[in-house]
Amino acid sequence: MATLCRPAVSVPEHVITLEQTLEVARDLHAANPALPLALRLIRNTGVRKRHLVQPIEEALRHPGFGERNRLHSAGARAMVPGVVRRALANAGLGPADIDLIVYVSCTGFSMPSPTAWLINTMGFAPGTRQLPIAQLGCAAGGAAINRAHDFCTAYPEANALVVSCEFCSLCYQPTDLGVGSLLSNGLFGDAVAAAVVRGSGGTGIRLVRNGSWLVPGTESWISYAVEDTGFHFVLDRRVPRTTGALAPALAELSGELRWDVSDLDFYVVHAGGPRILDDLSLHLGVDGHLFRHSRATLADYGNIASAVVLDALGRLFDEGSGTPGDRGLIAGFGPGITAEMTFGTWSEEPVAHTGTGAPRTGTTRTGAAGRTAPPPSQWRNP
């Protein structure tokens, strides 16, 4: 069975604290009648600091959509390779051992996908499958894990690499002055994360069952308005209420395993904000302490979009509390409104570090140059 290994996470060097965020908001929006409400909401997010790909003075400028997109690509090329190397090392693998790269980002756009650049520059085989995901927003971290799980279920000896690159600060729009926009300006941060899903072996979360759920009639509640100036984030005030609709979906999926979603050992949940975690705790009947890793991500980095689930998962690894057989949930929520859900168990199976793409027992791999893998025509549903 597929195992999600220890993630690697990196954040940019530029930091803005909660107090600095409030000060910037007061300076820029002193005449905005919505400012007092926005300041109160920002204080209540639980975000202590965030990391930005540019200094705050530059982040507040808008040089145009094209220049921002170039900044996104440059930031990705500077930060992603190091995170990928650490994630591969955590899984005991090298680039030539990877059969699929799932690359997610909702904060920049490029074609071809950054997966092509990674394959060309980091030693991945030319036959490595590419799966870029751009439009699932914060849910994409969960979706990436699920698609990697599906692939490794179809090909039990294959391995998949998940990469999340989110520079939310590059989506700042100085002309958006509504409460939702002001709140978003104080909530979102930048981060890059990666993790490997091994088809066999490895220490981490043994993935058992995944699923998706879309809350009907909510597709406009989280969205981008795409304008000449780029992506304008739209957030409906009703979003926090959707946890009441998502909890039954989580319960139904866990019920397929004959598990009780309210009685698991760990929960790794996208922390869009504290209200979501509070309400999910209430609807699932779960002690709020079990969401401590998600809250820690929110406090240290803010909402880092699709990278949240990988960072919160990394904190679970760092805590060292996992015991073989522990059952848990990984879930990401985003536009749609979509939930991407995964259930799994903690597993510890030491593996030898290959690091070079050397053949492993039972694989059809012959190395980067002579790799053989099933053609797309032979793909099957897991």
- Residues acting as catalytic residues: 138
DSSP state letters, 300-369: HH-B-GGGHHHHHHHHHHHHT---TT-EEEEEEEETTTEEEEEEEEEE--------S----TT-----TT
Q: How many CB atoms lie within 10 A of CB 56?
A: 15
β-strand partners of 17: 49
Rounded CA separation 308/332 (Å): 8
Q: Which residue has the tokens 């919505």?
A: 34
Judging by DSSP bridges, how do beta strands 159-167 and 338-347 pair with one another?
unpaired
Closest to 338 (Cα-Cα) out of 258, 267, 242: 242
Closest to 317 (Cα-Cα) out of 148, 106, 90, 139: 90
Q: How many CB atoms lie within 10 A of CB 376?
A: 7
β-strand partners of 8: 194
Q: What angle do CA 348, 194, 378 make, to 5 degrees?
A: 80
Q: What angle do CA 130, 134, 139 make, to 5 degrees?
A: 105
CA 250, 255, 261, 265 torsion-angle sign: negative
